[in-house]
Structure 1
Amino acid sequence: MKLDRRELLLGSAATLAAGASASAVPASKLAQRRPGFGAAATLLDLQADPRLGEAISTYCTQVVPVQELKWPMLRPDAHTFAFERADAIYDFARTNDMTMRGHALAWYADIPDWTKQIKDSKSVERTYVDHINTVVSYYKDKLTSWDVVNEPIPDDPKSVKDRRDTFWTQHLGDRWIPLAFRTAAAADPYVKLAINEYDIESAKDSFVAKRAAYRNLIMDLLDQGVPLHAVGLQSHLHAELEIDTHGLAEFVTEVRSWGLEVFVTELDVDDQKLTGSPAERDAIVAKRVDDLLTAISTSGPVRSILTWGISDRYCWINAMFKRPDKQPSRPLPLDGEFKPKPFMDVISKFAKDA
C-alpha cells in the first residue's frame, strides 16, 4: 500500500507557520489563548488567508481539520493514503504550540466512490480495518483524540435502538461501530477515542429521541467493553431553538458518571431564522452558547470546546443555508473581519476553567 508523505502542496507548511517555531510563539500571544478552546479549519482557507491562521493561533490551544482526515481527501483511491494536507495542518498546530485532534475515521457520508465498487463484505471489512489502522498508526502519539464514529443516529429515530443505515451497516451490520473503536485502540492505545453526534440539545421531540438513542448506543458500547473514552456533542445549534438545559445537563451528568469525558466538537449557531440587527442576532447566538455550556458544565468543567471554524468569513453555514434577507449568517466567535463577538466572550467565560 503506497503512503504519500510530505510533498509540495499548494504552498508549504512553513508558509502556514510564518517562519515561526513553537519556542518562538510570544508569551503575550499564549496568554490570550482560551484553555481547551479550538477551531476547525481547512488547509485551503489557511493558505488563502493569513488572518485565519493568525486568529486560530491567537485564541486557540487546539485545531481540527475539517476535511483533510476524511476518507475522500485522505484516500483518493484504494491504493493511496494522501497524508500531506493533514500533515500541513498538524505542522501548523505544532509550530504554533497547539494540539490537533482527528476527525473522522468512520462516517456514513463522504465515502469515496471507489469503495462502492467493493461488493463482498469480507473485502469491505478488510478495507475498513486497514484504513482505520493505517491512519491511526500514522498519527500515533501525535493527536489528542479521534472522532472514531461520526453521526451514527438517524435524525428522527423510531426507538432508542434505531441506528443510521449506512454503507458500513449494509456490509458489517451493527458491529461496524465497535470494530472501528477496537481497531483504533489497537493502533494507538493512548489516544482518546470519541463518538460524535449532533442535534441533541433542544427539547424538540426529534432531538429528545435522538438524545435517548445516543445514550442507548453509548451504554451498549460500554456494556460490550468497547474502548470508548469520550462523547462528542457537535452542537450545531439552531438559534431559534432554546437549549434544553435540564435534559442536556442530565445526559451529560450520566455520561460522566460512566467515566466518559464530554467534548464540544463542532460548535456553531445557525441564525438563518432570526430577524433583527446583527447585534440583536449576536446576542441570541451568545445566549444559546451560554445555555449550552452552562448545562454541560453543571457536572464538571468543559475541558474541550471546538467551534466549526472561527470566523464567519469561513463557515459552512453561509455556504449551505442562506438567510432569506441575503445577509450573511453570524454563526461563529469572530465576525467576517475577524473581530470578536459576544460568542467569544462566552467561550472565554467557560474556557478559563478548562
Structure 2
Amino acid sequence: MPEVFLNPNFSPRPWGAPALARRGLLLAGSGLVLAGGRRAQAQDQRLPEAMRAMTGLGEVARARGISFGAAMLTQLLQRDPAYEAAFATEAAVIVPEWEGKFAALQPEEGRFDTAPLDAQLHWAQQRGRTLRGHALIWHESLPGWAERALAEGRDRALGVMAAHFDRVLNHARGQIRDWDVVNEPIATAGDRLRDTPWLRALGPDYIDIALRMARERDPTLRLVLNEYGFEEEVPEALLKRQQLLALLRGLLERKVPLDALGIQGHLHLSRPFNAASFAGFLAEVRALGLQVLVTELDIRETWDAPQEIAARDALVAERTYAFVSTALEGGARTVLSWGLSDRNSWLASTPAVAMGQGRVHRGLPLDDHGQRKPMWQALARAFRGGS
C-alpha cells in the first residue's frame, strides 16, 4: 500500500449552495429541496436547521451503547454552516483531522498553537459531544524542525517527545480522555516496524516510551495504538495482523500501558473481506485485554466498479455493513468515519488516490452535496443490529 494511504493535510471545499456543482439539492429525509435563483438562496438559509432536525447516526448508535463520530476540520467548521450542521446532526464524537497532530500543535519548537483544536473542543463541549485526540506520535505530521532535532540523537529525541507531551496533555487534561498515542508504527508491507524518524532516534522502544510518557502525564487517559492495512483478506494484511499481534503482546508482556487498538478501516473495494477471519483476529486482540475501536472508516473504490451511482453505492454499503457489523460483534463500541461527506474526503483531494475524470470515491456516509447515501443506511442498520 502506498504511503499516500495515510491522512494528508489538504484544503477542502465548503459545501454551501454557491459551490454546488448542480443547481438543485435534495436533502434526504428532510423534505427540503433547493432550486436555482433567489428561491435557492432563501432556502439555503434553512439548510442547516433542516439537517439539525433529523435523527443522526450518533443518536441511532447511542441507543445500543455505541459511539459514532467523524473527523472534523476547524476551517470548515468555522466557515461552512452546512458542514457544521452535518456534524451537529450525525456525530456524537469528534476527531481533529489535522488539529491534534504534532505539526499543527507545535509548528516551531516551543511555539504551540492550540487555537484550532480549542475551537473543536469548545464546539464539542457546548453540544455535549466528545472529542478524542489524534495523534501524538506519527511520522507524517512532523515539522521540519522536529525531524532535524530527532536526528541529533536519543537524548534530544526524548526531550522533544517529553516537551510535546507535557504541553499538549496538560492543555487537554480533563477535556480529551482518549488519545491515539502512537499512529501507524508498522511498515506497509507488514513485516517490520515502519522506518520513521522516531524509530531511527529511539529504536523500537519508542512505542513503549510514548505510551509510558502519556500514562505518566495523565493516568486517566485511554491510550490507543492506531493502525491500518490489516482489515481485509489479502496476504499483506494477514501478515500485518501477525506483526500487530506480536507488537501488542510484547507491549503487554513488558507492562507497557495500553488500553485499546484503533482499527482505522480505510477499506478498498478491490480487496476481499472475510468476516469470519476478521472476527477471529478481533477475538485475539480482545483476549489480550484490549478494547477495539474503528477510528477512520472510509472506502476507496476502483475504476472497474460499475459506472452507475446506485450500483457503486450498493457495493460500498455492502462492504460497510459487513465490516462494521463484524467489528461491533467483535467488541467495538466506537465507530468513527474519516469525515462525513465525499466532498471533503482526503480520497477526493489527494491526487494519488483521487479517481479523477469527474468521478469521486463515494466512501463516506454523505455524498458530495450532503445527502445521505446507502452507506449511511448500512451504518444505521449495523448500529441497530439489523441484518
Which range, TM-score by smaller chain? 0.7 to 0.9
2:358 to 321, 326, 347: 326
Measured in 2, the distance between the counterparts of 1:288 and 1:220 equals 32
Whether 1:51 aligns to 2:82 is yes
| Cα deviation, residue 28, structure 1 | 7.2
Q: 1:319–1:130: structure 2 CA closer, same or farther, 3 Å change rule?
A: same
Aligned AA (2:113): A
TM-score by length of structure 1 reads 0.87
Structure 2 residues without counterparts, runs of 5 or longer: 1-51
Whether 1:194 aligns to 2:228 is no
Q: How does 1:1-354 map to 2 (within 5 A)?
A: 32=59, 34-35=61-62, 36-118=67-149, 119-158=152-191, 162-273=192-303, 274-300=305-331, 302-320=332-350, 321-323=353-355, 325-352=357-384
For residue 268 of structure 1, give the secondary structure of its aligned residue in structure 2.
Answer: strand
For residue 69 of structure 2, give the secondary structure of its aligned residue in structure 1.
Answer: strand
1:235-282 superposed Cα distances (whole Å, 9 cap, x missing partner)? 000022221212211111111122211100000001143232111111
Aligned AA (1:184): A
For residue 262 of structure 2, give the secondary structure of its aligned residue in structure 1.
Answer: strand
Tell me how large the CA RMSD over aligned residues is: 1.9
| Cα deviation, residue 49, structure 1 | 1.4
TM-score by length of structure 2 reads 0.80
Identity between Structure 1 and Structure 2 (%): 33
Q: 1:84–1:275: structure 2 CA closer, same or farther, 3 Å change rule?
A: same
Measured in 1, the distance between the counterparts of 2:125 and 2:57 equals 14
Measured in 2, the distance between the counterparts of 1:108 and 1:125 equals 15
1:133-189 superposed Cα distances (whole Å, 9 cap, x missing partner)? 32112111211310000001111133xxx1111101111011110111111111111
Structure-2 residue corresponding to 1:16:
none
Q: 1:117–1:208: structure 2 CA closer, same or farther, 3 Å change rule?
A: same
User: Which region of structure 1 is more displaced relative to structure 2, 241-250 or 330-339?
Assistant: 241-250
| Cα deviation, residue 27, structure 1 | 11
Q: Is the 8 A contact 2:136 2:180 kept in 1?
A: yes
Q: 1:319–1:30: structure 2 CA closer, same or farther, 3 Å change rule?
A: closer
Measured in 1, the distance between the counterparts of 2:216 and 2:347 equals 36
Aligned AA (1:34): A
Measured in 1, the distance between the counterparts of 2:329 and 2:384 equals 15
Structure 1 residues without counterparts, runs of 5 or longer: 1-24
Measured in 2, the distance between the counterparts of 1:248 and 1:189 equals 31
